[in-house]
Chain A
């Protein structure tokens, strides 16, 4: 926490716009990593594939373990996780996480839903901890399930993991009784996927921000992957629509469809069959290896990834205004033209 705002030494570059491979190469083995947005919305999927490709090891994940994170767990990049959610929404539990946790190869440390929000909020504000009554009386505070020591032992930078998972104190201010002191949740790296971003890093999100506007201030290194890089000047014309300031951002990467198969409100909807296929295959090690060979190892470029999915399939996912998603009726509802005389 103390060194959260210290610049981490990086390769010297003159601009923030990089290739995906360059940006991901700044992640080190053992880093504490935060991936933006949640479940199957605005997930930095292309960045996750690149982390797999670069064979990063020993990463510690924060916040949640769904879709993007599950790929990292399955490929053996991530070793531990602290957060509150290990599902993929309506597609079931994160299959690789479930399998590896049961096999004892992956170490989850559960905190509450509110804990990740407050933890990120405290880290954003530079506060070491915040008090809350959330999770009191739940198994989040069960010492048998406390893996704080595992996280500390495995983290490349130990100062990112608190010395304790929590502490109790009597509220001295408002008579709320016993409250939990919840440590801040800082990270080495945060990766956020947005619909648009400027060349200098200002980013604009449509739809839910999730907690990305906290995460970017809670991490030492911030990578933005975006559907479209636009001139910075264009975004600055309407500052109230921007949520991520350029000052918080270190690297910007343009990756069209970089959130596929998750949805990006305003750009495209969830690729349901893709996620179903992943969920079915990733339940077994062989299945996951088959999936990762097909969609990561055998793919040489983003262009190849997009071509493999196919233009027609992508076109069907593209969101339509003003719904910002793909309304069901656009493919399903058929209109019949009725002629004036009543004949079809």
Chain B
């Protein structure tokens, strides 16, 4: 059964107050076009899990996000996520920090369907400082509070291997997971090139999974090499074909980062007015993503297109003169 829908239909399935995770990492394979559609549809009170960079920051700027629970709030080389920074300083977003490894093994536990897993990773850090524990705030805005754990962590003595005090980390569960990938079959089987980040875990931890892809291919094609596929179709609910759906981020084997665009974003989003102006220019278009890529222009996109065998744009593209 084909699961291909339009971007509007797919994002329409997200409800206000959902706990949501976006795939990829920092500016790599981020579902930016999907995040822009979330802003366009004016979703409210989302609880963001994982990282808060690029596409997440756009949703924060658009006023869609009420709480964030994760490990990283930056746009890589382009500075701290500007909208998030501003809103966190104002106190208009609830922020609950967890460790980097808490995120990856939390979402792994979610994938495995176990309630929690033990680790020593955050012991001795401020992640465990009760003064910064804002999990209760995140639970208060979530539509389904039971998707979030009742406590941030529990400390106990390891009864098995004499590892001393360990932290029990609750599994990460999600209402919605949105991933942007290189290739997906019509029925939802996903093939990722390059780093999987945690998409293969997150897709199995979520009630609803939306996959946006550079390319939708016949399911029979993608099943010919099952060892290359990363997410089974049984975990995927909606499939959307979105060429350049991660611009200005990068998609390995498809296109590289749009550095001037990211620099401009970082600069203009320092204030809410700046973000609103930026959003009016890039997000609130009549035809959504189609207008967005047309506005970018063919020659600009052509310069970003990845070249084999690199999978990105090497500095010396076109040869040295």
Contact = CB atoms under 8 A, between A and B. Distances in A.
Given A173-B170, A174-B171, 8 more contacts: A128-B118, A128-B166, A132-B115, A163-B160, A172-B116, A173-B115, A174-B150, A183-B161
A162 B163 CA distance: 11
Interface string A171-192: 1111110010101100000000
Contacts of A183: 160-161
Nearest 6 A/B pairs, CB to CB = A162-B160, A1-B161, A173-B149, A173-B170, A183-B160, A130-B117
B216 interface: no
A101 interface: no
Contact of B116 (A1, A171, A241): A171
Contact of B115 (A163, A171, A237): A171
Contacts of A125: 105, 108, 117, 119
Contact of B149 (A132, A163, A174, A239): A174
Which interface class (under 10, 10 to 19, 20 to 34, 35 or more) fits B? 20 to 34
A89 interface: no
Contact of B193 (A122, A129, A240): A240
Interface of B: 105, 108-109, 112, 114-119, 146, 149-151, 154, 156, 158-163, 166, 168, 170-171, 173, 192-194, 224, 227-228, 309
A1 B160 contact: yes
A73 interface: no
Interface in A231-254: 237, 239-241
Given A173-B170, A174-B170, A241-B227, A131 B160 contact: no
A207 B109 CA distance: 24
15 contacts: A2-B163, A118-B114, A125-B119, A129-B158, A130-B116, A132-B114, A132-B115, A173-B170, A175-B146, A205-B227, A206-B227, A207-B227, A237-B309, A240-B228, A241-B227
Nearest to A125: B105
Nearest to B149: A173
A281 interface: no
Residue of A131, A183, A240 contacting most chain B CB atoms (<10 Å)? A240
B114 A163 contact: no
A206 B115 CA distance: 32
A207 B151 CA distance: 40
B115 A121 contact: no
A132 B151 CA distance: 18
Contacts of B224: 322
B150 A2 contact: no
Contacts of B158: 128-129
A289 B119 CA distance: 47
Contacts of A117: 112
A187 B160 CA distance: 15
Contacts of B160: 1, 128-129, 162-164, 167, 181, 183-184
A126 interface: yes
A30 B112 CA distance: 32
